[in-house]
Amino acid sequence: MTGRVIIVTGANSGIGYETAKFLCNGGNEVILACRNEEKGKAAVGKILESNPNALASFMQLDLAELASVRKFVDDFHAGGRKLYALVNNAGVFLDKRSPRQFTKDNFELTLGTNHLGHFLLTNLLLGDLESTATEIGDARIVVLTSMLHDRNLKKKMRNITPFDIDDIFLAGEGKYSAENAYKNSKLANILFTYELAKQLQDRGVTANCICPGFIPSTNLSRNATASSRFFVRYILGGLFRFTKITQSLEQGARAVVEMVTDEKYKGVNGKYFKNHAEAQSSDESMDEELRVKLWELSARYCHLKGYEPLDAEIPPPAEKKEDPKDVSDTTEKVEEKADASDKAKTEEEKTEKEKDMEKDEKDEKTEKQEEEKKEEETVKAEEKSDIKENVEQTEVKKDDVTDEKGSEEKTTVADVEPVQTEAAK
């Protein structure tokens, strides 16, 4: 299969980039739909550098802003190209310490980006896909999800709870955690895919979802702290390197490319795949009533035609609203804050350590000075004692000399006087 137009979201890095590169190498025309223009164009440049004949191009798409999604579709339609496949790859996974954040439309950031942005994009491009399917008999939608959609994998964690259709943005007290938000968004991907596949029956377009596996080297966790990224990439990655648990970027991307291009998947619809094989998704994802409710609620939030519009509540003042810096795999702003926090903590620890060292040196110096002073005083005291003793000895000698001289004088006088007396006589 060559020459077919394929859109890959979040294709500037990670699995998205590798998928786009492989699809280009297969002769397909690939549109890298990314939020960051600089990174998106750089990714296109890398593909062209390795394959000058590649049909790769960049189009700006911010899945965290519904207006940007609509503009992307309008720009695509203006190009007059026929769309064969849509790969919903982009995703956000915030650091576990991150507070609840929001999109331009006041959606919780993770669900808003990973699910609602792709929900609107897919629905606005359905007409294009159906047109292609009518012409060639095949058009495909591939949605990337994660094994973490299954809460039973995290059942020991208190912050992982069942999906609440009445609170999809986790606004309730104590409900939000980054892990829970990500789990819900990946579950929503599957619920959406199953319901979409049901609606697409007999229309020539298929929709399937795939878990590419645990890939330590992906950029999905780049918004986490430096220590967390190191642990995932090098510790866990190293431990599971020789098992089937982890996958490389290339392995994950090739699994996605197979779903998009391989003839064996033609006509396959509404399935969940993992490790290149059909698999069973979680019990929550099999709830047909939940699928329908999520579809209707999502359609209302995205203001789809035929549904009563619904706007998300404005976030409370206590929670600071943040815009995603890079929707391809993460938010740069979160990463910068996390790294700055780590750096500040390191500097603080360094400062405390230096203070302790300085105090120890000062105490040691003071103790040494006191010992020297004490030793000096002892020496002075000994010298003073020696001087005093010498003086006393000198005085004693002086007295002895004086006594001897006096005695001699007396003796001389006594001896002379009798002689003088005799002469006088």
Residues marked active site are found at 182
> CA distances (Å), 312 to each of 25, 71, 309, in order?
42, 21, 10
The residue with tokens 């619920």 is 191
Whether the CA torsion 221, 214, 51, 138 is positive or negative: it is: negative
**Cα 44 from chain centroid?**
25
Q: To the nearest 10°, the Cα dihedral for 390, 396, 398, 399?
A: 160
**Taking Cα atoms as reference points, which of 69, 232, 83, 250 lies closest to residue 148?**
232
Q: What angle do CA 324, 325, 330 make, to 5 degrees?
A: 75
Whether the CA torsion 174, 116, 103, 315 is positive or negative: it is: negative
In the chain, count of helices (H) and strands (E)? 11, 8
| 219 in Cβ contact with 249 (< 8 Å) | no
Q: To the nearest 10°, the Cα dihedral for 17, 45, 262, 283?
A: 20
Q: Which amino acid is at 48?
A: L
**Taking Cα atoms as reference points, which of 186, 203, 187, 213 lies closest to residue 141?**
203
**Taking Cα atoms as reference points, which of 211, 260, 274 lies closest to residue 87?**
260
